[in-house]
Amino acid sequence: MSRIAYVNGRYLPHGDAVVHIEDRGYQFADGVYEVCEVRGAKLVDAPRHLARLGRSLSELKIAAPMSLPALTAVLRETVSRNRIVNGLVYIQVTRGVARRDHAFPPQGTAPSLVVTARRLDFVANEKIAADGVAVITLPEDRWARVDIKSVSLLPNVLAKQAAREQGAREAWYVDVAGYVTEGAASNAWIVSRDGKLVTRKLGRDILPGITRSVLFDVIKAQGLQVEERPFTVEEAQGAREAFITSATQLVMPVVRIDGRPVGNGAPGLIATALRRDYHAHAAIG
Ligand code: PLP
């Protein structure tokens, strides 16, 4: 079965799904995106993802391509046409098509909307989580507004490639003061020596992860404590546990940081329990 994409009002086989060469997403990376998990053919945490999309759009002064209920319907239709049971749905919105000029196009230029979906192998992902993953660290080299989920991901592409070349699954950015900001495609967490969950507080220097936000509810339900503060690479390497969160990886235990084992080098009990209970707290529909 050919995959189907939604492109500016039409559902098309991927081979025919194209955007204009003067789309500002292609010319300037002038656009934003969202990634939402699909589980049991249902959307996971869609209202929170769509709220973040709305914020990213308004921070960049890009018009919303359609109302939230209409967009939700397009997401559901794309999932259904691709017969996705477990997978992901991607939304990309750009400032539209216009003759190349850095400044905004004329008022009334319609934003472009693309929605695609793909399957995920949940069994393979559970196996990865059971083993845990390695991360490397790199100097933070992204722009100063990474709280906006922009499609401009070149530093993230280079960081992920560096991780892959070193046998790791994720790269953590480290700011000039020596503190971890976040991963190239995930938020970063540790369990401190005194058993608290530690993650950087929200600001312009990290993406406000939806998985991160739902995890606060899971943590509360498990009677655990959270501290929103930065941590160094050394603290993470000496922590009881470490993990990353994202819609694609959920709660993924980290077992090595720059080649040094975290804890006993195996996934920690807390990360494993948070992963197990995650969907009981997520909005699925
Ligand atoms: N930080 C970055 C840079 C990301 O790209 C992502 C997800 O892709 C996240 C954090 C985690 O966000 P979420 O939990 O909403 O997937």
Provide the pLDDT for residue 5: 98
Q: From ligand 1's centre to the CA of 96, what distance in Å?
A: 24
Q: What is the pLDDT of residues 142-155, one digit of tens each?
A: 999 999 999 999 99
Provide the pLDDT for residue 1: 74
Provide the pLDDT for residue 109: 98
Rounded to the nearest 10 degrees, the angle between the axes of helix 46-59 and helix 210-221 is: 140
Decide: 129 in ligand 1 pocket, CB within 6 A: no
Residue closest via CA to ligand 1's atom 8 equals 185
Decide: 35 in ligand 1 pocket, CB within 6 A: yes
Decide: 181 in ligand 1 pocket, CB within 6 A: no
The model's pTM is 0.97
Decide: 65 in ligand 1 pocket, CB within 6 A: no
Which ligand 1 atom is the nearest neighbour of the CA of 52? 15
Decide: 244 in ligand 1 pocket, CB within 6 A: no
Decide: 186 in ligand 1 pocket, CB within 6 A: yes
Residue positions counted in the chain: 285
Spell out, as residue ranges, where the chain has pLDDT lower than 70: none
Catalytic residue status for 127: no
Residue closest via CA to ligand 1's atom 12 equals 209
- Which one from 149, 160, 196, 201 is the annotated catalytic residue? 149
Taking the C-alpha atoms of residue 171 and residue 72, their distance in angstroms, rounded to an integer, is: 32
Provide the pLDDT for residue 203: 98
Three-state secondary structure readout of the chain? CCCEEEECCEEEEHHHCCCCCCEHHHHHCCEEEEEEEEECCEEECHHHHHHHHHHHHHHCCCCCCCCHHHHHHHHHHHHHHCCCCCEEEEEEEECCECCCCCCCCCCCCCCEEEEEEEECCHHHHHHHHHHCEEEEEEECCCCCCCCCCECCCHHHHHHHHHHHHCCCCEEEEECCCCEEEEECCCEEEEECCCCCEEECCCCCCCCCCHHHHHHHHHHHHCCCCEEECCCEHHHHHCCCEEEEEECCCEEEEEEEECCEECCCCCCCHHHHHHHHHHHHHCCEC
Determine the residue of 175, 201, 207, 210 to mutate for testing ligand 1's pocket, defined as the one with the most ligand atoms within 8 A of the Cβ atom.
207
